[in-house]
């Protein structure tokens, strides 16, 4: 019983109603009960270890304080139900009470209980005449007592909210423009001072299931390092599931697997859950102490009003982290892209620009901002880009554009892909395609050279085949010419013609050799040549090749220097020169002289 009375008195002190001014809600309840039951008076009385405290009285005079041992309200402390004395004069306890001395004959009292079940006092009815209180009326009186107890809890909660607001104002004074992280630090410092505890902490449910990470962990006058810990085997597990928990003492013995409690030397623990706007768990707010907690329920009453504000800061922390991760991913993506990315409005003004290190631009990306495309591109390309911007905004379809931009190392080719972004803005992805263009040009040039080589090879094969067949025919011509010449007399005019035939066949054979050499099936014969001798050898052939109206005179200087050349090629070069000159002067009589003199 002594332990129960101590807990009751502790609950009464926590209620905070002793030594306080009367509350108007209590007065209203007392008056309402007096009228409802038709009695002379109604009162709300709280009972401590030696006194009674009347906080409201309607229709009956009552002292604010009175000794407990003669007050009938003490009787409700010993039972569970409503206490009714129909006639004090007929009751041994009632006969010696202060109420009997005041002429009261009827008394009824219902216990006012705290949420934990502790009796704080009595909601009492009194009347100068004996009365009977039946079952329904007893239930109604108990309901009035419950309403009075609820008012006590509301007052207690209001005081907790007031303390929480004061604490938050203290945090705000210390960190007027704090970030979420700075707010958490200031909160931890203020909590340890205001509640006189060793540790204050805010933990957030980590992304990985079953773990938490401290947003702040404050020990009296210093910030401790952030800790990530498994929830299993810790007092935080049930709190993370939405249930406030307080362990006034012996928390290490209750959770022996929690090594961190042992490391810090914690003996008591109190925490409340943090939830987001959709009532999803975010984490928890709590305090720990190396000694037992004197008033653990008061701690919860203070922590719970703080939970909403702290939860909003935890959400803010999460949002900031998500934004940072999104920005980091965006920057990494932009750095990896081989494109420059521009945000441009409908008029062609650059609003934003970004280019990775590998992107080649005529000027740094930041210098584009504020410029217009007309400042960067040629007039034709600028107008084409503005038209593409308008089409992209009007049709909401991607547009493509190619243009050339002059740069310090020469003009460069760019390819732009344009997509609408909002009603009057486009996103433009610009890629330097200079290397690709140059590679395409080199490929096309190589294809042309390959085609030409294939043509030459085909022509060479054709020329080689013709030369081979021609050479075979010339062999037959020379053989027969030699046979005919052997049967002719030297002075015969046919002998001279046969010699001309032989020389012509020799020249044709030389030409066939050149064709074979050029086709890759033969070779040139490079030797020292005397041009005077070469001209004499060609005299008769040249004479035959010239028109009849043109006379040929050859003057060859003596001791001409020799040259290294193929004789057939030299003959092939001289023959068209002489025949062309002869054709040119055929219409006008005259002579074209060729000389082998040194010049």
The backbone region for 476, taken as left when phi is positive above 0, alpha when psi lies in -120 to 50, beta otherwise, is alpha
Range with the largest mean pLDDT of 290-304, 332-346, 387-401, 528-542: 387-401
**Higher pLDDT residue, 559 or 501?**
501
* Token reading at 467: 């030369």
pLDDT of 87 higher than 80: yes
Q: Which of 55-69, 99-113, 289-303 has the highest mean pLDDT?
A: 99-113
- Report the distance separating Cα 287 and Cα 260, nearest Å: 14
| pLDDT tens-digit map of 316-340 | 888 888 888 887 787 777 666 677 8
Residue 532: CB atoms within 10 A of its CB come to 18
Which of 324, 306, 290 has the alpha carbon at shortest distance from 216?
Answer: 306
pLDDT of 285 strictly over 70: yes
pLDDT, position 599: 36
Q: For residue 43, what pLDDT band results from cuts at 50, 70 and 90?
A: very high
512 or 33, which is more confident: 33
- Report which of 332, 285, 330 is spatially closest to residue 312, judged by C-alpha positions: 285
- Residue 591 has which token pair? 């002579």
Name the strand (E) or helix (H) holding 401. strand 399-405
Beta carbons of 343 and 421 less than 8 angstroms apart: yes
Neighbours of 507 (CB within 10 A): 19
> What is the distance between the alpha carbons of residues 502 and 475, in angstroms, rounded to a whole number?
11
Query: Looking at the predicted structure, is the pLDDT value of residue 2 above 50?
Result: no
Angstrom distance (rounded) from CA 499 to CA 490? 11
Question: Residue 219 pLDDT more than 70?
Answer: yes
Phi, psi of 58 (to 5 degrees): -130, 115
Confidence of residue 587 (pLDDT cuts 50, 70, 90): low
Q: Tens digit of pLDDT for each residue in 565-584?
A: 777 777 777 777 777 877 77
Burial 125-146 (b: 16+ CB within 10 A, else e): bbbeeebebeeebbebbbebbe
Do the Cβ atoms of 413 and 432 come closer than 8 Å?
Answer: yes
CB atoms within 10 A of CB 597: 11
Please report which helix (H) or strand (E) contains residue 265, including its range: none
Task: Flag whether pLDDT at 427 surpasses 80.
Answer: yes
Q: Write the CA distances from 509 to 280, 465, 467, integer angstroms.
A: 103, 14, 9
Can you count the helices (H) and strands (E) in the chain?
Answer: 16, 22
pLDDT in tens, 451-461: 887 777 776 66
Share the mean pLDDT of the chain.
81
Q: Are the C-beta atoms of 374 and 382 separated by less than 8 Å?
A: yes
pLDDT level of residue 598 (50, 70, 90 thresholds):
very low
- Please write the tens of the pLDDT for every residue from 264-283: 999 999 999 999 888 888 99
CB atoms within 10 A of CB 489: 8
Enter the tokens of residue 171.
């945090």
Q: Look at residue 411 in the predicted model and tell me its pLDDT.
A: 80
Determine the pLDDT at residue 142: 92
Q: How far is the C-alpha of 390 from the C-alpha of 394, rounded, in Å?
A: 6
Structure tokens at 520: 């890759």
| Residue 599 Cα distances to 147, 572, 575, 596, angstroms | 137, 22, 21, 9
- Using an 8 Å Cβ cutoff, are 128 and 104 in contact? yes
pLDDT of residue 515: 65
- Model confidence at 594, in pLDDT bands (50, 70, 90)? very low
How far apart (Å, rounded) are the C-alpha atoms in residues 280 and 522? 93
Return the CA Rg of the chain: 58
How far is 89 from 76, CA to CA, in rounded Å? 19
Lowest mean pLDDT among 183-187, 261-265, 545-549: 545-549
| Residue keyed to tokens 């004789």 | 567
In contact, 107 and 58? CB cutoff 8 Å: no
> 135-139, 187-191, 339-343, 525-529: which range is least confident on average?
525-529
Other CB atoms within a 10 A radius of the CB of residue 198 amount to 19
Q: What is the pLDDT of residues 502-552, one digit of tens each?
A: 777 777 777 766 666 655 555 566 777 777 777 776 776 677 677 777 777
**46 or 364, which is more confident?**
46
Contact between residue 204 and residue 282 where contact means Cβ atoms under 8 Å apart: yes
- Beta-strand (E) ranges in 64-164? 65-67, 83-85, 106-113, 119-127
Q: What is the pLDDT of residues 355-368, one digit of tens each?
A: 777 777 777 878 88
Comparing C-alpha atoms, which of 37, 95, 35, 26 is closest to residue 64? 26
Q: What is the C-alpha separation between 56 and 27, in angstroms, rounded?
A: 5
**How far, in Å, CA of 489 to CA of 494, rounded?**
9
Residue pLDDT, tens place only, 101-111: 888 999 999 99
Determine the average pLDDT of the residues in 416-428.
87
Provide, for the chain, the percentages of residues in helix, strand and coil under a 3-state DSSP scheme, each rounded to the nearest 5.
50, 25, 25
The rounded distance, in Å, linking the Cα atoms of 251 and 508 is 119
Query: Is the pLDDT confidence value at 172 over 70?
Result: no
Instruction: Decide if 71 contacts 47 (C-beta within 8 A).
Output: yes
Burial of 383 (0-12, 13-18, 19+ CB in 10 A): middle
Q: What percent of the chain has pLDDT over 90?
A: 22
């Amino acid at each position: 019983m002594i332990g129960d009375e101590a807990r009751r008195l502790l609950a009464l002190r926590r209620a905070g109603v002793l030594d306080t001014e009367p509350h108007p809600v209590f007065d209203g309840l007392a008056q309402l009960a007096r009228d409802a039951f038709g009695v002379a008076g109604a009162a709300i009385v709280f009972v401590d270890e030696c006194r009674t405290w009347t906080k409201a009285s309607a229709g009956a005079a009552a002292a604010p304080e009175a000794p407990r041992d003669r007050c009938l309200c003490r009787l409700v402390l010993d039972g569970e139900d409503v206490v009714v004395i129909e006639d004090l004069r007929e009751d041994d306890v009632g006969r010696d009470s202060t109420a009997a001395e005041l002429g009261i004959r009827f008394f009824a009292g219902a216990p006012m209980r705290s949420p934990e079940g502790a009796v704080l006092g009595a909601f009492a009815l009194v009347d100068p005449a004996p009365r009977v209180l039946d079952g329904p009326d007893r239930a109604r009186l108990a309901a009035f007592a419950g309403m009075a107890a609820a008012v006590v809890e509301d007052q207690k909660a209001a005081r907790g909210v007031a303390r929480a607001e004061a604490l938050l104002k203290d945090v705000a004074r210390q960190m007027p423009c704090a970030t979420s992280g700075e707010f958490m630090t200031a909160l931890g410092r203020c909590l340890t001072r205001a509640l006189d505890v060793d540790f204050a902490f805010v933990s957030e449910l980590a992304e990985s299931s079953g773990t938490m990470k401290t947003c702040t962990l404050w020990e009296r006058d210093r910030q401790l390092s952030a800790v990530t810990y498994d929830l299993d085997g810790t007092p935080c597990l049930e709190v993370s599931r939405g249930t406030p928990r307080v362990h006034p003492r012996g928390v290490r013995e209750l959770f022996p697997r929690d090594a961190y409690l042992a490391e810090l030397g914690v003996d008591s623990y109190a925490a409340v859950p943090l939830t987001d706007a959709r009532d999803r768990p975010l984490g928890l707010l709590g305090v720990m102490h190396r000694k037992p907690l004197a008033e653990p329920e008061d701690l919860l009453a203070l922590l719970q009003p703080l939970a909403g504000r702290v939860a909003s800061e935890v959400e803010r922390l999460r949002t900031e982290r998500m934004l940072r991760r999104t920005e980091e991913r965006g920057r990494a993506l932009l750095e990896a892209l081989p494109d420059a990315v521009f945000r441009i409005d409908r008029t062609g003004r650059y609003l934003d620009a970004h280019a990775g290190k590998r992107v080649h631009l005529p000027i740094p990306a930041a210098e584009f901002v504020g410029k217009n495309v007309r400042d960067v591109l040629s007039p034709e390309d600028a107008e084409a880009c503005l038209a593409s911007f308008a089409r992209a905004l009007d049709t909401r379809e991607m547009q493509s554009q190619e243009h050339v931009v002059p740069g310090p190392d020469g003009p460069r080719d760019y390819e732009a892909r344009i997509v609408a972004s909002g009603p009057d803005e486009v996103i433009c992805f610009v890629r330097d395609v200079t290397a690709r263009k140059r590679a395409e040009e080199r490929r096309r040039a190589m294809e042309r050279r390959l085609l030409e080589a294939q043509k030459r090879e085909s022509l060479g094969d054709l020329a080689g085949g013709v030369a081979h067949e021609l050479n075979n025919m010339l062999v037959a011509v020379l053989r027969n010419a030699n046979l005919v010449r052997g049967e002719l007399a030297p002075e015969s005019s046919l002998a001279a013609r046969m010699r001309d035939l032989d020389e012509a066949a020799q020249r044709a054979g030389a030409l066939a050799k050149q064709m074979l050499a050029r086709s890759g099936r033969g070779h040139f014969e490079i030797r020292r040549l005397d041009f005077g001798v070469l001209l004499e050898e060609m005299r008769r052939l040249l004479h035959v090749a010239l028109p009849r109206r043109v006379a040929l005179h050859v003057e060859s200087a003596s001791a001409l220097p020799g040259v290294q050349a193929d004789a057939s090629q030299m003959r092939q070069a001289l023959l068209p020169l002489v025949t062309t000159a002869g054709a040119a002067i055929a219409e006008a009589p005259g002579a074209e002289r060729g000389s082998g003199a040194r010049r």
